[in-house]
Amino acid sequence: MTVHPLTASLRLKVLATALSTFLAASSASTAFARSIYDGDWSVLIITQSGSCDASYRYGVTISDGNVIYQGGAPITMQGRVTPKGALRVIVQSGNQWADGFGRLKGNQGGGVWKGQGMSSTCAGVWRAERES
């Protein structure tokens, strides 16, 4: 799948949004120790409203509760997972952004996201699976 820089940014924002949900129960400044969610994850972003791409898959790594984007797009991602799996992620690229919330449990998770693309407000759901 070809990803355009601005489209990739919006999708990353969506992913960040989903991950943000996991982090909703904690502040970004809280220090986290290694968590059961640490590792590589594959996140599927699905648009349900707005003119953003229908779906996209991203790779992220969770390390000490911090969500880290694995791609090369010029974005800013801030996200954390609480010890109980609550997640929140915020992604920004230029004037595009996405905010996501959700929960991880075991080797999978999911949640919702909303964001602003180049000319449209978009929203949808996300699903995550731990990579082996």
Q: Mean per-residue pLDDT for 80-107?
A: 94
The CATH homologous superfamily to which domain 5-130 belongs is: Quinohemoprotein amine dehydrogenase alpha subunit, domain 2 (2.40.128.120)
- Which residue did the predictor score with more confidence, 78 or 18? 78
What is the percentage of the chain residues whose pLDDT exceeds 90?
50
Q: Domain residue spans in the chain?
A: 5-130
For the segment 29-84, what is each residue's pLDDT rounded down to a tens digit?
Answer: 444 468 899 999 999 999 999 988 889 888 899 999 999 998 888 888 899 999 99
User: What is d(CA 53, CA 3) in angstroms, rounded to the nearest whole number?
Assistant: 10
| CA-closest candidate to residue 12, choices 62, 63, 76 | 76
pTM: 0.72
The SS3 of residue 85 is coil
Is the pLDDT at 17 greater than 50, yes or no? Answer: no
